[in-house]
Amino acid sequence: MTRFELVRGNIVEQDVDAIVNAANSSLLGGGGVDGAIHEAAGPELLAACELLDGCETGAAKITPGFQLKARYVIHAVGPGYYSEPRHAELLASAYRRSLELATAHGITSIAFPAISTGIYGYPLDEAAPIAVGTVSAYVREHPAIELVRFVVWSADAEQRYQDALNNLH
Ligand code: APR
């Protein structure tokens, strides 16, 4: 059975097979999680991203992790909450497509940030149950994923995720 962990911390420091980036559709970097990951991974990450030809909202693409502890970065593009009327569907899709890439690459441990809840404005109380619910449904069908770690930045986010995890049982 897949183990779930919830930690407050920095996504770039996670020692897992893959960390997920909260990217935008250009895949060419930004602030928040995206900026931190590019800074920690080094310039080779941007060079690898430049070859990917962008990524649609709700989808994901994979690169090596370069100087990160993680072997891979999965670049997921979440929706803007206010700019995208289908935000709930697209947020779930960003998590699912990330996990599909993990499965395809034999990844057994993966760390997610709270996609779309920063610059993209998605309220945490709505995003946390989508994140936890979508991931939980996926790993029930794909038990080869042994560890999913949700990495959050704030105490408030931690509480929202804890509530969502409690509601799973
Ligand atoms: N580790 C873990 N969580 C972090 C970190 C970090 N180093 N930095 C920020 N966070 C948290 C934020 O507090 C927020 O809850 O991650 C969540 C996602 O925030 P953003 O990084 O702003 O991502 P998002 O809302 O998906 O916006 C994506 O921002 O940087 C640009 O290129 C990116 O355009 C894209 C947009």
Mutating to test ligand 1, I would choose from 8, 21, 33, 49 the residue with most ligand atoms within 8 A of its C-beta, which is 33
In terms of residue numbers, what domain contains 40?
3-166
Q: How much is the pLDDT for 161?
A: 98
Does the pLDDT of residue 41 top 70, yes or no?
yes
Taking only the tens place, the pLDDT of each residue in 98-155 is 999 999 999 999 999 999 999 999 999 999 999 999 999 999 999 999 999 999 999 9
Instruction: Tokens for 60, please give them.
Output: 């994901």
Q: How far is the CA of 10 from the centre of ligand 1 (A)?
A: 11
Quick check: 149 and 16 in contact, CB under 8 A?
yes
Would you say residue 88 has pLDDT above 90?
yes
- CATH number of the domain within which 93 lies: 3.40.220.10
Q: What is the number of structural domains in the chain?
A: 1
The percent of residues in the chain predicted with pLDDT above 70, rounded, is 99
Q: Which residues pair with 3 in a beta bridge?
A: 147
Residue pair 112/131 in contact (Cβ under 8 Å)? The answer is: yes
The amino acid at 141 = E
Confidence class for position 169, pLDDT limits 50, 70, 90: low
Beta strands 3-8 and 72-77 are unpaired
Q: Which atom of ligand 1 is nearest to the CA of 30?
A: 32
